[in-house]
Amino acid sequence: MIGTALDLIIAALLVLGGIFGLIGSFGLLRLRDAMQRLHAPTKASTVGLGAVLIASAIAGGSWQEVLVTLFIFLTAPLTALYLAKTLIHGHINPSDVPPAANGAQWAAQPPVAQKQ
Amino acid sequence: MIAKIFPHPYLSLTLGVLWMLLVNRLAVGSLVMATILAIAIPHISAAYWPARPRLVRPMALLGYIGLVLHDVVVSSFAVAKIILFMPPAQIKSAFITVPIDLPSPEAITLLAGTITMTPGTLTVDIAADGRSLLIHSLHAPDQGAIRDEIKSRYEARLKRIFA
């Protein structure tokens, strides 16, 4: 009885994980520009992955799922940050970006072109 | 004495626990190896931590992690809804400047990571003077509200954790 209930929970979590992974990928197709598309994989997929990891932890009962979670939380923001910095540096019009506080420059923004 | 062996106790603890999780087996040999790593790595990398951040309330950090995990789940559903059901033309994306007032680079890194992991917002860049973050919001009808939420929900807590 308890075994069946556990199986049901594991199955539900796996399905949820699959759905969120699919939504994340679907977002890549649906959203309009590169900045918006950055949101889809870093977000929806996080919960999808989390659901799969919890399912794995229930089924296998290993502590290594905690490690995977930790590494995802450490690396996913870095990937997103570097993609975003690249976009800011070379692909987005500086006038579309609001200025930083205290008149500072954004770190990745190209230097303002000198007036001739 | 203890401070000399473990100049950076939280890093040592993290490394030790990390090693035990990696080998995934509770044995004396692994414990010895974990201890060696926990002592050696902080000493070797000490030059890269010139001013160690002071964790004033380590327990509050656990609460913060719980809060972020909760927010990740809740807002993932919100983003899924936007992706699936909102007509693309109606999605109002925007860049937002968030002025920050945090004491250490480590706290700023944590805030930037939190913003990226909580769906709907993404850290794009930091100002050259380190006093503001540039974030991008997937759907931001009210940009001021998003800025205020980041400041009150995350930054205020981080300020309390790192004095």
Mean pLDDT of B51-65: 77
Percent of chain A with pLDDT over 70: 89
pLDDT for the residue A111: 64
Report the number of distinct structural domains present in chain A: 1
Q: What is the pLDDT of residue A72?
A: 81
Here the ipTM equals 0.76
Contact state of B127 with A35 under an 8 Å Cβ cutoff: no
For residue B95, the chain A residue with the least C-alpha distance is A97
User: What are the boundaries of each domain within chain B?
Assistant: 2-48, 58-161
pLDDT digits over B99-130, tens only? Answer: 888 878 888 888 888 888 877 788 888 888 88
The per-residue pLDDT for B125 is: 86
- Asked if B90 has any chain A CB less than 8 Å from its own CB, the reply is no
Nearest CA in chain A to B118: A43
Instruction: Tell me the residue range of the domain where A41 lies.
Output: 2-92
Interchain pair A77, B117: CB under 8 A: yes
Bridge partners of B136, per DSSP, are B95, B122
* Predicted confidence band of residue B52 (pLDDT cuts 50, 70, 90): low
Question: Domain for residue A83, yes or no?
Answer: yes
Comparing A19-23, A53-57, B38-42, B56-60, the range with the smallest average pLDDT is B56-60
Closest residue in A to B131 (Cα) is: A101
CATH classification of the domain holding A73:
1.10.287
pLDDT reported for residue B1: 64
Which pLDDT score, from 0 to 100, does residue A116 have?
A: 43
- The reply to whether A115 falls in a domain is no
| Res A1: pLDDT | 66
Backbone angles phi, psi at B3, to 5 degrees: -65, -25
Task: Compute CA B60 distance to the chain's CA centroid, rounded to the nearest angstrom.
Answer: 13
The mean per-residue pLDDT over the stretch B28-33 comes to 87
Supply A67's token pair: 């490690």
Angle at B89 (CA atoms; ends B86, B94), nearest 5 degrees? 95
Containing H/E element for A57? Answer: helix A34-60
| Residues B92 and B83: beta-carbon distance below 8 Å | no
Q: Are residues B122 and A26, on separate chains, in Cβ contact within 8 Å? A: no
- pLDDT score for A112: 59
Tell me the chain B residues in contact with residue A105 when contact means C-beta distances shorter than 8 Å: 127-128
Check CB contact under 8 Å for B97 and A31. Answer: no
Listed range (A59-68, B10-19, B58-67, B90-99) with the worst mean pLDDT: A59-68
Supply the angle between the helices A34-60 and B105-117 in degrees, to the nearest 10. 90
CA of B121: which chain A residue's CA is closest?
A39
pLDDT at position A15, please? 93
pTM for the full model? 0.79
Q: Which of A20, A106, A112 to mutate to test the interface with B (most CBs of B within 10 A)?
A: A106
Burial of A115 from C-beta contacts in 10 A (0-12 / 13-18 / 19+): exposed
Query: Which residues from chain B sit within 8 angstroms of residue A97, using beta carbons?
Result: 95, 134
Name the stretches of chain A with pLDDT < 50. 114-116
pLDDT at A114: 46
Residue A24 lies in a domain: yes
User: Is the pLDDT at B139 greater than 70, yes or no?
Assistant: yes
| Residue of higher predicted confidence among B8 and B22 | B22
Comparing CA positions, the residue from B138, B106, B129 lying closest to residue B10 is B106
